[in-house]
Amino acid sequence: MTKTILLTGASGGVGLELIKPLSDAGYDLALHYHEKLGPLAEKLDEVKPKTNVACFKADLTVENEVVTLFNGLKDFCGGIDILVNNAGISMSGMSWKMELSDWMTTLNTNLTSAFLCTKNALPYMRENNWGRIINVSSVVAQTGFIGTSAYAASKAGLYGFTKSVAKEVANKNITVNTMSYGYMNAGMIDVLTEDLQAEILSQIPQKQFGSIESIAKTITFLGSDEASYITGQNIPINGGLA
């Protein structure tokens, strides 16, 4: 039976690039976006002929919108097999200058959204006695980076969340893991200046930014039966940076 993936933040840089390889891997795709449906249009044209795919709009920091999203998922495919909590933002600022509103927006978008999606996904997974939850964190949660205190805190919070939920649902054949991206060749790297990109590149032992293919293959593995004994873990994808 074909598995269904809910990919949150599918209209972002990394999310957009994951659509085709996940389609090629044979999954049905439920693609979440917050405001920007436009960027998804071209990707949908690429995968629609061979993939059962639908888009869902929601503010993942608002519980009733998440509930509505999951009700739509039930109509689309009956439930969910694999949840990839990929949605995230980074609001930069030195810790003594950051506005509380920016801090809360970052934590809510990166951490609370993962909680709300997980909360609503688990009843389906528990009923089916099978499920995979993959939380997307960052190497910055391990290393820190100037101006990213809110982002690093939110992504570090996913570690503890992953560990605890993994133990709560282990008896239902549900695994919960974290992938921690390093600096990839799509997504937030695009907002950095060329000089800063060069500085970061010099610190990566492999001297290259990570590929979307490496992320997609990790999702495919963690979403498989072969990975059923891997849970509560952090999988670093960072070229040896941490």
- Write down the residue that tokens 């054949």 correspond to: 173
Closest Cα partner for 121 from 1, 2, 6? 6
- Higher pLDDT among residues 195 and 25, named by residue: 25
Structure tokens at 12: 């972002």
Give the integer Cα–Cα distance in Å for 139 and 34. 25
The arithmetic mean of pLDDT across residues 15-40, rounded, is 93
Annotated catalytic residue within 27, 33, 124, 151: 151
Percentage, residues of the chain above pLDDT 70: 97
Give the integer Cα–Cα distance in Å for 157 and 107. 9
Mean pLDDT score across all residues of the chain: 92
Q: Over the stretch 52-102, which tens digit does the pLDDT of each residue have?
A: 999 999 999 999 999 999 999 999 988 899 999 999 998 889 999 999 999
Closest Cα partner for 186 from 16, 36, 11, 14? 14
Q: Over the stretch 152-170, which tens digit does the pLDDT of each residue have?
A: 999 999 999 999 999 999 9
Instruction: Tell me how far apart the terminal alpha carbons of the chain are, to the nearest angstrom.
Output: 38
CATH node for 4-237: 3.40.50.720
Q: Grade residue 37 by pLDDT with cuts at 50, 70 and 90.
A: confident
Total Cβ atoms within 10 A of residue 190: 9
Cα atoms in the Cβ-side hemisphere of radius 13 Å centred on 37: 5
> pTM for this structure?
0.93
Q: Grade residue 190 by pLDDT with cuts at 50, 70 and 90.
A: low
Give the integer Cα–Cα distance in Å for 124 and 131. 8
Is the pLDDT confidence value at 109 over 90? yes
- Indicate if 229 belongs to the active site: no
Give the integer Cα–Cα distance in Å for 238 and 3. 28
Per-residue pLDDT, 206: 80
- Write down the residue that tokens 């809360």 correspond to: 104
The arithmetic mean of pLDDT across residues 226-232, rounded, is 98
Q: For the chain, which residues make up each domain, given as ranges?
A: 4-237
Structure tokens at 13: 């840089």
Residue 55 backbone phi and psi in degrees, to 5: -110, 145
Give the integer Cα–Cα distance in Å for 4 and 26. 9
Give the integer Cα–Cα distance in Å for 38 and 200. 31
Q: Grade residue 205 by pLDDT with cuts at 50, 70 and 90.
A: confident
Is the pLDDT confidence value at 126 over 90? yes
Give the integer Cα–Cα distance in Å for 235 and 180. 6
